[in-house]
Chains A and B, each alone.
Chain A
Amino acid sequence: MDTKITVTIDGQEVSADPGQTILEAARSQGIYIPTLCHYSKTTNVGACRVCVVEVENARSYVASCCAPVTPGMVIRTNTPAIRAAQKMIIELLWSSGDHNCLTCEQNGACELQDLVYWLQIDKPRFPIEHHGYEMDNSNTMITRDLNKCILCGRCIRACNEIQVNEVLDFANRGSYAKVGPAFDADYIDSSCVFCGECAQVCPTGAITFKQAKFAGRPWELSKTRTTCAYCGVGCQIDLYTKDNKIVKVMGNRQYGPPNEGSLCVKGRFGMDFISHPDRISKPLIRHQKGEAFKEAAWDEAYAFIAQRLAAVKKEYGPDSIAGLSSARCTNEENYVFQKFLRGGIGTNNIDHCARL
């Protein structure tokens, strides 16, 4: 069993696990170190260098996401020099592309913007590079605007290390570097399966949810955590809604199991059905076989059913009635339904599609 080691962070003695990074050790103490490329459960790559800290006796600043703590290490996270370095890094990232939030869907949920605000940067010192990349608007789900990409590589690691779909990678080098599927294809022409993980992890507006565009700014949305309605994994999802419509769906990363923040294409992009015009919104009754449905009030429908079921039960006995419950309804509903058939009707003819 490894024993704890002691390091000093911002003058505070901190006990850390060997092998822990400086970033982890600091965060466990509630010390804030900004990050951009870091994404938990993926490899630390030290790409953005926003997480730099001073380590006594080190020759240069250290990227805290990659550097493990060593016994007796003396670390400073908040010196003026570190802040100046972070400002420089953020200003460089800012100038590396088109980061005007006015026309960015990610405005209000952008980690680059957060850091510009946090560091109180007024204007970038460097000229803005205009790449002129074309937008990938090829599909209805994910929009890519590489002009807003800061090459942090999170999408790549999400695709390869979290979802293991192995679609995204870096291409080219230096200032021509960009991320994308093989052969720089559009998403729709690639092996992408549209889990949307890349858009969920993107810290800027480079990869965004297309259907959420112009559907509401982050601060106008309400968030409700719920359980996905598709397969039996029970992914924890956050529904972002506005004006009684779902704007986007994100995996809930706050709590671990079962999905630890990941989703699949159905959970992510398969929620349109809820506000589909085909939804039934009123009870429908067919008074005679062969007739068309007529809209009815609830009371009428209840009365119709109760009277008809009672008649069947009276004439043929309770076992002439059967109920199919639903593997998509909640536990409470399944419970109530079987209780109704067993307690209310008096039959055990209750089953559901468990076998499908």
Chain B
Amino acid sequence: MSDTFILNGKETPYTPGQMILEAAKVGGIEIPTLCYLKGSTPTGACRICLVEVKGARSLMAACSTPVTPGMEVFTETALVHQARKLNVELLLSSGTHNCLTCEANGNCRLQDLAYFYKITDLRFEEKAASDIYPKEDRNPLIVRDFSRCILCGRCVQACNEVMVNRAISQGYRGKESKIVTGGDLPYHESECVFCGQCVEVCPVGALTEKKAKGLGRPWEIKKIRTTCPYCGVGCQQWLHVKDGKIVKVTAVEDAQPNMGRLCVKGRFAYDFIYSEERLKTPLIREANGEFREASWDEALDLVAEKFKEIIKKDGPDAIAGVSCARSINEDSYQMQKFFRAVIGTNNIDHCART
């Protein structure tokens, strides 16, 4: 077919309109990038995805250069390598990038690239502390550390093009550049609805989750995939678990139905399960009206005995039950089975209506 180009010497198919980065990925070549965010307009901001295109005067950004028929692209030449390495080094000087105190340590694309390109010292001087915007962490959920920000713009893309909450944008110019909310207000005074998608896509430690701070580094964490317990969309999540405790929730990328997105509840409202107020033992009401703790055997025996009594006296239809629209299918199944098969009534319903 005619729609092919030459990728590292190999004829590779592409779909018209595809950028080099995407076409290469389909062709099995992963081109490193920091700013590229799948599904949004490429910005070419980070200059890490540079590739050599035969006949072009300079290296091209693979994320924003469309493939043309027969185009010859080289992704791994010495020149490319050198340019990418230089750009990583320049990014490293854009702020303070000492991983020692960074919550993103171990989950940082910039760090990955520095390692991949075997960078052993910082060639360029870091930005002076006085030239860096102060950290913003007055809201309860998201920490914005501008000393780590590389202005790649993924958060802006995520906010405007993915979640379309339109809360942040690129602001100011040149050395003063900053990712800002409307009026450069702190997040919690802005239009932000705290979906946290900006944190999800931040490739470095500029945007981190406040609640996860200090609870565990990425390598100490086990990821468990589950389904969100809130509305009926059924978003797929990763629970980040350390020592049996959830420390953070992120979205499962490329998974139906949410395709890597979450809302404020799904992302941040997981810790209710650790509330001290949780019911921890069966409770039985005493004659004086107060509850007392009981064993499972005692509580279940009591329920069974009372139900049997009522069935005997008033028939099974004198018992009714409401199942839970939040618990798992298997629980609802068990409950209706219990009502139908054990008690002998169809008086089983649930709050589907709210």
One of A119-127, A226-234, A266-274 at the interface? A119-127
Please report the C-alpha to C-alpha distance between residue A101 and residue B101 in the assembled complex, in whole angstroms. 9
B114 contact set on A, CB distance < 8 A: 102-103
Chain A's closest residue to B103 (CB) is A117
Establish whether residues B101 and A122, one from each chain, have CB atoms under 8 Å apart when the complex forms: yes
Establish whether residues B98 and A101, one from each chain, have CB atoms under 8 Å apart when the complex forms: yes
One of A75-83, A211-219, A310-318 at the interface? A211-219
Please report the C-alpha to C-alpha distance between residue A123 and residue B98 in the assembled complex, in whole angstroms. 10
One of B7-15, B212-220, B271-279 at the interface? B212-220
Please report the C-alpha to C-alpha distance between residue A122 and residue B147 in the assembled complex, in whole angstroms. 12
Q: Which among B101, B106, B111 is the interface contact of A116 at CB below 8 angstroms?
A: B101
B90 to chain A, nearest CB (A): 14
Q: Which among B99, B118, B214, B219 is the interface contact of A102 at CB below 8 angstroms?
A: B99
Given A100-B99, A121-B101, the answer on whether A218 and B119 have CB atoms closer than 8 Å is: no
Establish whether residues A101 and B122, one from each chain, have CB atoms under 8 Å apart when the complex forms: no
A108 on the interface (CB 8 Å rule)?
yes
Please report the C-alpha to C-alpha distance between residue A218 and residue B98 in the assembled complex, in whole angstroms. 18
Interface majority SS on B: helix, strand, loop or mixed?
loop
Residues in B230-280 with C-beta less than 8 Å from chain A: none
Please report the C-alpha to C-alpha distance between residue A170 and residue B198 in the assembled complex, in whole angstroms. 49
Given A103-B121, A103-B122, A214-B115, the answer on whether A219 and B219 have CB atoms closer than 8 Å is: yes
Question: Could you say which interface size class chain B belongs to?
Answer: 20 to 34
B58 contact set on A, CB distance < 8 A: none
Please report the C-alpha to C-alpha distance between residue A107 and residue B118 in the assembled complex, in whole angstroms. 14
A94 on the interface (CB 8 Å rule)?
yes
A113 on the interface (CB 8 Å rule)?
yes
Chain B's closest residue to A219 (CB) is B219
A144 on the interface (CB 8 Å rule)?
no
A248 on the interface (CB 8 Å rule)?
no
Please report the C-alpha to C-alpha distance between residue A149 and residue B100 in the assembled complex, in whole angstroms. 15
B219 contact set on A, CB distance < 8 A: 108, 218-219
Please report the C-alpha to C-alpha distance between residue A113 and residue B102 in the assembled complex, in whole angstroms. 10
B105 contact set on A, CB distance < 8 A: 101, 107-108, 113
Please report the C-alpha to C-alpha distance between residue A100 and residue B121 in the assembled complex, in whole angstroms. 10
A214 contact set on B, CB distance < 8 A: 115, 118
Chain B's closest residue to A121 (CB) is B101
B105 to chain A, nearest CB (A): 6
A99 on the interface (CB 8 Å rule)?
yes
Binding site for A on B (CB under 8 A): 92, 97-101, 105-106, 111, 114-115, 118-122, 213-214, 217-219
- 5 pairs, A vs B, C-beta closer than 8 Å: A103-B120, A117-B214, A123-B101, A219-B218, A219-B219
Question: Given contacts A100-B100, A103-B122, could you give 8 more A-B pairs where the C-beta distance is less than 8 Å?
Answer: A99-B100, A101-B100, A102-B92, A102-B97, A108-B217, A120-B213, A121-B101, A219-B106
